[in-house]
């Protein structure tokens, strides 16, 4: 069990490092490109990517805390339920902020005369919403598991 939780923690740290590198690359391209010739759509794109990276890192912190609770055999506690609810809210915030890339994708599709690019952009935007739906299901499962655990503790 310790190996699994260590691997999960390592994966979360690796994902966080990847998000930080990605955010740094976008920030450096924003700085080197200059802000004079940038359109409002480009600003919206960079803001959406930055906010999504911020909410993603914030979510990873809560996921790390959940994995830490699992390692301590406190996975079915009220603290875990609170953390799962926070993860759910951060995923929704990331999904909403990621919608800011749509104007950029639409403009790129129009310039390249590639209407299929809009479908790819919509598919990318739907991924965080799918993660949000998954987090809703996980939250309900944790609520049911905590309720069953409390019932079992009372009967013994």
**Domain boundaries defined on the chain:** 2-155
- On whether the CB atoms of residues 45 and 100 are closer than 8 A, the answer is yes
Q: Is the pTM of this model over 0.75?
A: yes
CB neighbours (10 Å) of residue 2? 7
Identify the pLDDT of residue 2: 83
Compute the 3-state secondary structure of the chain and give helix, strand, coil in percent, each to the nearest 5: 90, 0, 10
Per-residue pLDDT 10s for the chain (156 aa) are 788 888 989 999 999 999 899 888 877 877 777 655 678 888 888 888 889 999 999 999 999 999 999 888 888 888 999 999 999 999 999 999 989 888 888 888 888 888 888 898 888 899 999 999 999 999 999 899 888 888 887 776
Identify the pLDDT of residue 39: 80
């Amino acid at each position: 069990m310790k190996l699994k939780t260590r691997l999960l923690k390592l994966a979360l740290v690796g994902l966080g490092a990847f998000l930080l590198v990605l955010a740094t690359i976008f920030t450096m391209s924003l700085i080197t490109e200059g802000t004079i010739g940038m359109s409002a759509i480009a600003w919206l794109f960079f803001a959406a990517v930055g906010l999504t990276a911020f909410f993603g890192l914030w979510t990873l912190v809560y996921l790390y805390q959940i994995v830490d609770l699992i390692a301590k055999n406190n996975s079915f506690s009220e603290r875990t339920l609170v953390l799962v609810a926070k993860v759910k809210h951060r995923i929704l915030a990331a999904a909403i902020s990621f919608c800011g890339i749509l104007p950029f994708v639409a403009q790129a599709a129009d310039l390249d005369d590639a209407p299929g690019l809009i479908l790819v952009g919509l598919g990318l935007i739907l991924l965080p919403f799918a993660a949000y739906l998954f987090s809703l299901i996980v939250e309900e499962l944790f609520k049911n598991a905590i309720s069953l655990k409390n019932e079992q503790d009372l009967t013994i």
